[in-house]
Amino acid sequence: MKIGFIGLGIMGKPMVKNLLKAGCDVVAYSRTKADVDAVVAYGATSAETAAEVAAASDVIITMLPNGPDVAEVVMGEVGILSTAKDGTILVDMSSIAPAVAQEIHTACATKGVKMLDAPVSGGEPKAIDGTLSIMVGGDEAVFKQVYEILLHMGASAVYCGDIGAGNITKLANNIIVALNIAAVGEAIALSNKAGVDPNRVFAAIKGGLAGSNVMNAKLPMIIDENFTPGFKLDLHVKDLLNAVDAAKEVNAQIPFTNKILEVMQSLQVRGYGQNDHSVISKHYTL
């Protein structure tokens, strides 16, 4: 089975490398030639366009910044649907608006292409380790067809419901992550102002109820003010904007999400958008 992979950014490159480590045959495309060269060095085959990837692939994985990028790669003039064979499976692992995933799914169906939305959580470290959490929407039978492929990139792949359900689950995930980072940043601001070593605070509380994967991953970065991006603030803002739109569509009340979104957008204005989302903590010190 030939796997196509489109999108070789912070997440995409290590995901391709893990597919190759598992013995998969991968053809890859990205607009940035250096990123393609990086995975070709590990054994991937290169392609010049998304259409070329689709023509050569049975399963196509996309990992792109946002919905418009996915729509262009799938439905554009030299996109996936211009050459994909009937029965091809498209697994979009980008984090996009659920409504956009549904629109792309409809376009795929007219061409005989089966689509899943399968965004991930875990950031660059878990993409490198191959331990991402993958949340999937679409036809459950199609999910079962690609389940083993997904487990080459993730520690878990969970079926969440119809198309779009994967991205609803990812939005829920990113609401929790953003608010958790904000809580960690606020707690450390208090510790610093009170003269208590934040490293000792971390050691004392991480095994208790306040402990979390977010705290373990982000609190050391906050203490060191190391905001090298594993997941950029700009991308998290994009996800929360999608969450706000999705909430409006179903009349869900998400007031804390709206508040942290305002904080994150203010940090974007200050020039922190390309930093890791743990930079939310800067809100308490600026």
Q: Yes or no: say if 205 and 211 are a contact pair by the CB < 8 Å rule.
A: yes
Question: What is the DSSP pairing of strand 2-6 with strand 59-62?
Answer: parallel
How many Å apart are CA 42 and CA 20, to the nearest integer? Answer: 7
Has 248 been annotated as catalytic? no
For residue range 163-222, what is the model confidence (pLDDT) as tens digits? 999 999 999 999 999 999 999 999 999 999 999 999 999 999 999 999 999 999 999 999
Of 114, 126, 170, 238, the catalytic one is: 170
pLDDT at residue 134 greater than cutoff 90: yes
Query: What pLDDT does residue 286 have?
Result: 83
Is the pTM here over 0.75, yes or no? yes
Separation in Å, CA 275 to CA 5, 42, 221, 267, 278:
26, 28, 11, 10, 8
Query: What pLDDT does residue 30 have?
Result: 96
Query: What pLDDT does residue 3 have?
Result: 98
Amino acid at 160: C
Q: Yes or no: say if 267 and 273 are a contact pair by the CB < 8 Å rule.
A: yes
> Is residue 97 very low, low, confident or very high in pLDDT (cuts 50, 70, 90)?
very high
Query: What pLDDT does residue 58 have?
Result: 98
Query: What pLDDT does residue 214 have?
Result: 95
